[in-house]
Amino acid sequence: MDYMTLKEAAEKWGVTPRRVNYYCAGGRIPGAVKMAGVWLIPKNTEKPIDGRTKQGKELRHE
């Protein structure tokens, strides 16, 4: 399986690397693993829905 780093995922999804780190630490990215202190995220993973926004909250209730 191919993986991407926090920085690569952040660029792909249009968020900060810190936000991606929160997604990983919170278990919101399936298949993400932490190796030697670095998060590895599967390349085919879609961006998790952001629960902080109204759009994200509307999508979760459907």
Q: Are 39 and 50 in contact (CB under 8 A)?
A: no
* Cα–Cα dist 3/48, whole Å: 16
Task: Provide the pLDDT for residue 30.
Answer: 93
* Cα–Cα dist 36/11, whole Å: 22
Task: Provide the pLDDT for residue 61.
Answer: 53
- Domain ranges for the chain, please list them: 3-60
Per-residue pLDDT tens digits for 50-60:
777 666 555 55
Per-residue pLDDT tens digits for 2-61:
999 999 999 999 999 999 999 999 999 999 999 999 999 999 999 988 777 666 555 555
Angle of helix 17-25 relative to helix 6-13, nearest 10 degrees? 110
Task: Provide the pLDDT for residue 11.
Answer: 96
